[in-house]
Amino acid sequence: MGNQTELRVVDGRRQRSERSRAAILTAALNLIDRGNYAPTTREIAQEAGVGNYAPTTREIAQEAGVGLRSFFRHFEDMEALIEAIDQKMRQYYEPLFDRDFQAGELEARIEDTVIGLTDAYERLKNMMMITRVQLWRSEVLQKNYARNQNGLRKHLEKWLPELKGVPEANREAAHATASYETWDRLRRHQKLNIRQARNAMIAALSAVL
């Protein structure tokens, strides 16, 4: 009887710990995804119309309904939290880019590639923006960014194998053209709608291919 009681106590603690960890991850994602702006990132966030790009441990703990001590029991520091968020989100964002090669004329494949890429960029723009804002000070984000960029290069050359046969300058120009940074410039800074921005990206890729 005593052993059963002890097992129930341990199991209850484990479940509470798992709930607290999940609440912290959800809170961080909620803060990133909504218009709750931190003073250090207010101008960037307002310009993009999205959430808090640099939530503090205190803000996350408050959003999750846990104390700071509980936060640091689950995550040693913000780098550990960022790594956990990436592991949680990879199952969502990686399939958006992992598309099979579709046979057809180059013109049609360029258009299909741009539509697929930019649909993913629009869905993931908050995550991509926080990566850009925090990249300079997070080794975890730098590692994950490099991994994702390498993956995107491989995907682009799978969808458009003609890239392997063009001069290096054209190939690098194509990768730059297909990047989120180019898409963000077209949408945010040049203020193009999705159709206009896609047409511009299609024209640029067609020109180098």
pLDDT (average), residues 50-57: 69
Q: Are residues 209 and 186 in the same domain?
A: yes
At residue 13, the pLDDT reads 65
- What is the C-alpha to C-alpha distance for residues 53 and 127, in angstroms, rounded to an integer? 9
- Is the pLDDT at 187 greater than 90? The verdict is yes
Q: Are residues 126 and 42 in the same domain?
A: no
- Is the pLDDT at 69 greater than 80? The verdict is yes
Domain end: 16, 50, 75, which one? Answer: 75
pLDDT band at 131 (very low <50, low <70, confident <90, very high): confident
What long-range pairs does 132-136 form, CB within 8 A, spacing at least 24?
132/181, 133/41, 133/44, 133/53, 133/54, 134/53, 134/54, 134/82
Domain end: 45, 75, 105, which one? Answer: 75
Q: Report in angstroms the alpha-carbon separations of 175 from 39, 115, 196.
A: 34, 15, 19
At residue 157, the pLDDT reads 93
Q: What pTM, to 2 d.p., does this model score? A: 0.76
Q: Are residues 114 and 169 in the same domain?
A: yes
At residue 52, the pLDDT reads 60
Q: Which of 9-18, 23-32, 113-122, 175-184 has the lowest mean pLDDT?
A: 9-18
- The total number of structural domains that make up the chain: 2
Neighbours of 27 (CB within 10 A): 20
Q: Are residues 46 and 111 in the same domain?
A: no
The DSSP 8-state label assigned to residue 189 in this structure reads: I
Q: Are residues 67 and 82 in the same domain?
A: no
List alpha helices for 34-138, DSSP H.
42-48, 57-64, 68-74, 78-97, 106-123, 125-134
Q: Are residues 201 and 110 in the same domain?
A: yes
Q: Are residues 82 and 180 in the same domain?
A: yes
At residue 136, the pLDDT reads 85
- Is the pLDDT at 20 greater than 70? The verdict is yes
- Is the pLDDT at 58 greater than 70? The verdict is yes
Q: Are residues 62 and 121 in the same domain?
A: no
Of residues 174 and 11, more confidence is placed in 174
- What percent of the chain is predicted at pLDDT more than 70? 84
- What is the C-alpha to C-alpha distance for residues 147 and 47, in angstroms, rounded to an integer? 28
Domain end: 25, 45, 75, which one? Answer: 75
pLDDT (average), residues 111-135: 88
At residue 125, the pLDDT reads 85
Domain limits at 195? 78-209
pLDDT (average), residues 80-98: 88
State the DSSP H helix or E strand holding residue 24, giving kind and residue range, or none if neither: helix 2-33
- What percent of the chain is predicted at pLDDT more than 90? 50
Q: Rounded mean pLDDT of the chain?
A: 84
